[in-house]
Amino acid sequence: MLNRSISLRKGLNLSLTEWDMTQDLSLTMSSQTQPSFGFSFCLSGGFLTKISGSAADIETRTSETQSGLFQGDIKAVSEVMSGQKVSLVQLDVNPDLLGELLEDSAHDVQKSLDRIFSNNQAGFQWETRNITPTMSIALRQVIHCPYQGLTKRLYLEGKALELIALQLDALGEKVPNRSEERRVGKECRSRWS
C-alpha cells in the first residue's frame, strides 16, 4: 500500500494512493475540517463511500473524477473490495487559493462551482465526471514524474494546476440557466472560509 502526500504550495496538496487489495478493507474517517476543495482522479479500481448525513453514497470508479467540497464535521466509511488495484491522484485546494485562481475566470466556471457548492451545510458535496483524455495525460505525468527535489515539486505543482484548470473547464461545460448567475471567484473566500 502506498499513500504519499506532497505539499506543493500553501493551500495546495497532492496525494498519490496505490492499494493492491488482497482482502476487503473498510476505512473509517472522522474529522472536523476547515472548508477545502478536493479534486480526485481514479485511475484504476473503485470503492463505495458512505458519508454520514449525505443523501447519496459516493461511488468511485475507474476513469472517473470527482470535484468536492469538504467542510465541518465529516464522518465517512469507505468499503474497498479485494482483487483490485486502486490508484488515485487527489488534490486538496484551500478556498483562498481557488478564489485567487478564479478571480478572472469565465462566468460559466464560476456559475458551475456556485451551483455545485452553494449549500453551506457541513459535510461533503461533490460532482462526478469522466476523466478526459487530456486529464489522463497529465495524470500519467504526475505518476511518472522523472524529477527529484525542487524540480520535482515545481513540476508537480504545474501539473496540479493543469489538472485543476482541466477540472474547472469540464465543470464549466454544464451551465445552469441564466437566472441563476452569481459570481463565485471572490465569494468563495468569504463563503467557505
pLDDT at 62: 96
pLDDT at 32: 60
pLDDT band, residue 3 (cuts 50/70/90): confident
pTM as predicted: 0.80
- What value does the mean pLDDT take over residues 137-164? 96
More confident residue, 41 or 113: 41
Mean pLDDT of the chain: 80
pLDDT at 104: 67
* b (16+ CB within 10 A) / e for 86-102: bbbbbbbbbbebbbebb
Rounded distance, CA 171 to CA 20, Å?
Answer: 31
pLDDT at 190: 40
User: How many other C-beta atoms can be found within 10 angstroms of the C-beta atom of residue 1?
Assistant: 9
In sequence order, what are the residues at sequence separation of 6 or more whose Cβ sits closer than 8 angstroms to the Cβ of residue 55?
A: none
pLDDT band, residue 171 (cuts 50/70/90): confident
- Quick one: what percent of the chain has pLDDT higher than 90? 46
pLDDT at 191: 42
Task: Tell whether the model's pLDDT for residue 136 goes beyond 70.
Answer: yes
- Quick one: what percent of the chain has pLDDT higher than 70? 75
Rounded distance, CA 80 to CA 82, Å?
Answer: 7
Task: Tell whether the model's pLDDT for residue 75 goes beyond 70.
Answer: yes
- What value does the mean pLDDT take over residues 74-103? 89
pLDDT at 118: 60
Size (the chain), residues: 193
Weakest mean pLDDT among 56-60, 95-99, 123-127, 157-161: 123-127
pLDDT band, residue 36 (cuts 50/70/90): confident
